[in-house]
Amino acid sequence: MIEILKSILIGIIQGITEWLPVSSTGHMILLDELLHMDITSEFKEMFFVVIQLGSIMAVLTLYFHKLNPFSPKKSADEKKQTWTLWFRVILAAVPAAILGLLFDDWFDAHFYNYVVVAIALIVYGVAFLLVERRNKNRRFRVTSVYDIDAKTALGIGAFQCLSLIPGTSRSGSTILGSTLIGVSREAAAEFSFFLAIPVMLGASALKLLKFGFAFTGAEIGILLAGVITAFLVSVVAIRFLMGFVRSHTFAPFGWYRIALGAVVLLRFALL
C-alpha cells in the first residue's frame, strides 16, 4: 500500500511536469531519490517510462476530435488537413526515435542521476530566459499547428533529441526549439502535445518489451495507480498550460528550472 501511495505521488508529478517545460523524468528521478520506492531496479526503469501512458491518454481525450481524421463532422478538406498534421507529427518523431533505439541503454547508464538532472534544469532554464528575451515583440511566422510544414517539423524533431538527457524536458526542448524557428508559443505547445503520442507510445513499448510481461500483483497495482493518476492530473495540466501561453511567456518556467536545479545541487551536496 505504501508503494502504491508513492506511485500516486509520482503520477501527480508526472501529470504536471510532462506538459510543463520543466522535465517530468527529471522530477521523477529526484522524487525517487527522496521516496526510495521498494521495487526492483528493472521495474522502476520501466515504470518511470510507462507511467507516461496516462499522460498520452489525456492528450487523446482532450484533442480527440482535432486528431481524428475519420470524424464524420469533418469535411474532406478537414480530414486531409488532419492526415497532414499526423504526417508532420510522425516525421518530427523520427530523429528522437532513431537515437532512442540506438542509445537508450547508454543514456540510462550514464545520465540518470541527480547531477545531470540539476545541470540540465539550470542550463535550459537560462536558455528559456534568453529565448524569451529574443522573442519579445516578435511576430511568429507559424501560428497554428496546421501551418507547420515538413521542414519545420523536422527541425522541431531535431530539438526533441535533446530531451534524451533527463532534466532537459521533452516538452521544454520541443517548445524552445519551435519558438526559435518561428512557431508561436500556443502552436508550439500544442504540437509538443501531439508529438508526445508516438514518442511515448514507442518508448513505453520498448521498455515493456525489455521488461517482459511477468508482473506480480503488486507491480500491476503500482503501475495502474501511477498511470491513472498521471491521466487525471495531465488533463488539468494541459488545460492550464494552453490558457497560460495565450497571455504569458515561458520565462516563469525558466526561473523555476534554475531555482529547482540550484536546490537539487545544494540538497545532495549536503548529504
Q: 183-230, pLDDT tens digit by residue?
A: 999 999 999 999 989 888 888 888 888 888 888 888 899 999 999 999
Q: Which residue has the higher pLDDT, 234 or 110?
A: 234
Show the domain range for 155. Answer: 2-269
Which DSSP symbol is given to 142? Answer: B
pTM, 2 dp? 0.85
Q: Which residue has the higher pLDDT, 52 or 33?
A: 52
Rg over CA atoms, the chain: 18
How distant, in Å, are the alpha carbons of 46, 55, 121, 208, 225 from that of 39?
A: 11, 22, 27, 16, 15
Determine what percent of the chain is predicted with pLDDT higher than 70: 99
Query: What one-character-per-residue DSSP string does 148-196 give?
Result: --HHHHHHHHHHHGGGGSTTS-HHHHHHHHHHHTTB-HHHHHHHHHHHH
Mean pLDDT of the chain: 88
Query: What's the pLDDT at 25?
Result: 67
Q: Return the C-alpha torsion angle 256, 187, 52, 263, nearest 10.
A: -10
Count of structural domains, the chain: 1
